Amino acid sequence: MDATAWIERWGEPAVLALCGLVVGLGFGFFAQRSRFCLRAAVIEFWHGRFGEKLAVWLLAFSAAVVAVQGFVVAGWLDVGTARQLSARGSLSGALIGGLIFGFGMVMTRGCASRLLVLTANGNLRALLSGLIFAVVAQASLGGVLAPLRETIAGWWVVEGGASRSLLALAGAGPLDGLVFGAVWLVTAGFFAHYSGWSAWKWVGGLGTGLMVALAWLGTYQVMAHSFEPVQIQGLTFSGPSAEWLMRVLAEPGKPWTFGLGLMPGVFLGSLVGALIGRDWKLEGFGGAYTMPRYIIGAIFMGFGSMLAGGCAVGAGMTGGAIFATTAWLTLGGMWVGGGLADRLLDRAPATAPAGASAAP
């Protein structure tokens, strides 16, 4: 059964939600098994180490770039209508939002996707942070924080089209993007090989990146075979988190979307990975001193993600894989913001009670 038959039988919303569920299952499972985490990679980088965490992130990111650009070169995917490239964007929002998000993800010990993965593993700290993240993201999208977000985003804007594509600005094409991704994929593989990785690290890192590409491909195929207007979209967690929050609080009946299928898929995929690896463990806060840090960090991430136009996966990997200018600016901001937060937290006086857990 091709995409047209699926759409005719079930309708666009159901097919998009199913696509999101499948992608989410894969992403959750692979991210859990590989311990994929931008926050951990940033900390290794700023401590001058090219360790396992940094190699996992680079492997996943480069795999996403190679797969997405490969799909484009093969003619299976056209990302020209993606909002990250076609719509008006904010450079000030991307940079400042990335800095704020990066600061927050270090405080909460995980980005938005990592919080969902950890929640499925029994981590109650991640659950609390994720809920606060969703509330603040919604408040920043259309609530009390929306005017502040719009003001900052309006400081430095860029029109959609070639000016939002790094490849177009550089006079390059998808084949050049494919080569760029392949170089970094080989680099990540080199460091991974000499780190003595297990098979799960390899499969998990590559699989995480491939799920980012599969999200683009799946939604594009629905758009290409649909008689109704459908927006091509990638894998992200800020919008879907706010969307799920409003679906729970508001009256039911709204159509299903890719994001609504994605979130439960990631949770279930991570849960399966935790059960297979015997990683499931109920965890709470090690001491009351940690709770303010997690709450403040989640607030930063919620506002920063909406200001930047996406989270570490949505803006960083999903937008980065199609070489969106704002996405790469956001990603750079996250690395800088995360590094600054790590340095400041390192200098903070130690107030942890004896025996308190420092696990994420």
Predicted confidence pLDDT, tens digits, the chain (360 residues): 466 777 777 878 888 999 999 999 999 999 999 999 999 999 999 998 888 889 999 999 999 999 999 999 999 999 988 989 989 999 999 999 999 999 999 999 889 999 999 999 999 999 999 999 999 999 999 899 999 999 999 999 999 888 899 999 999 999 999 999 999 999 888 877 776 777 778 899 999 999 999 999 999 988 888 777 778 889 999 989 988 888 887 766 678 888 889 999 999 999 999 999 898 998 877 655 588 899 999 999 999 999 999 899 998 899 999 999 999 999 999 999 999 999 988 765 544 433 333 445
Phi/psi of residue 65, nearest 5 degrees: -65, -45
Cα–Cα distance for residue pair 242/244, rounded to 1 Å? 6
| DSSP-assigned letter for residue 283 | B
Asked whether 316 and 209 are in contact (CB, 8 A), the reply is no
How many CA atoms within 13 Å lie on the side-chain side of 341?
A: 29
Give the list of residues 6+ apart from residue 143 with CB closer than 8 angstroms, or none. none
Asked whether 26 and 214 are in contact (CB, 8 A), the reply is yes
Look at residue 218 in the predicted model and tell me its pLDDT: 92
What's the 3-state SS for 81-147? CCHHHHCCEEHHHHHHHHHHHHHHHHHCCCCHHHHHHHHHCCEHHHHHHHHHHHHHHHHHHHCCCHH
Angle ∠(23,72,98) on CA atoms, nearest 5? 60
Q: What is the pTM of this model?
A: 0.91
**Within a 10 A sphere around the Cβ of 355, how many other Cβ atoms?**
7
Structure-token match 């006086």, residue found: 349
